[in-house]
Amino acid sequence: MADHTIASPTTGAYDVPPARELKRERKALLEVREERLRDLGGLALEMYKRDRFNAGLVVERCAELVAIEARVQEIDALLDGTARIRRGGGGAVCICGAPILLGARFCASCGRSLAPGSAESRQAGSDAPG
């Protein structure tokens, strides 16, 4: 029987939930993520209409989204059966250092293209014959 225990930095070890539970949690998190993204867009629009921008509120909502995406990445790693090490202790990051949101095609901070054919991708693969 396979060992389904992984190390936890605080308690030593804990059991990995069954795959069906992880998939259920992942699906629920993605639904919450989509709802929060829509809410964030509506919030930004209302702040624009009222000319009352609240940076703290936007940052708080974005932090919630990043936390949801981090958990989705953890679940994906567990479902893959690997303990992926994420760069910088968080999810993927852009060259500018900003976190990259799941499914993003452009960096939310600097606007760089995150597409596979972008300049950054070509630069990283410059060793490959072209």
What is the model's pLDDT at position 117?
A: 53
Q: How many CB atoms lie within 10 A of CB 84?
A: 11
The token duo for 17 is 């939930």
Number of H helices, E strands in the chain: 3, 2
Q: Going residue by residue through the chain (130 aa), what tens digit of pLDDT does each one get?
A: 444 444 444 444 456 778 889 899 999 999 999 999 999 999 999 999 999 999 999 999 999 999 999 999 888 888 876 444 333 345 677 777 777 777 778 887 788 887 765 544 434 444 444 4
Give the per-residue pLDDT at 60.
92
Rounded CA-CA distance 81/76 in Å is 9
CA nearest neighbour of 70 among 125, 2, 62, 20:
62
Q: Which two tokens stand for residue 86?
A: 């994420």
Instruction: Give 93's strand partners.
Output: 99
pTM: 0.53
At 9, which amino acid appears? P
Task: Specify the pLDDT at position 96.
Answer: 79
Q: Is 80 helix (H, G, I), strand (E, B) or coil?
A: helix
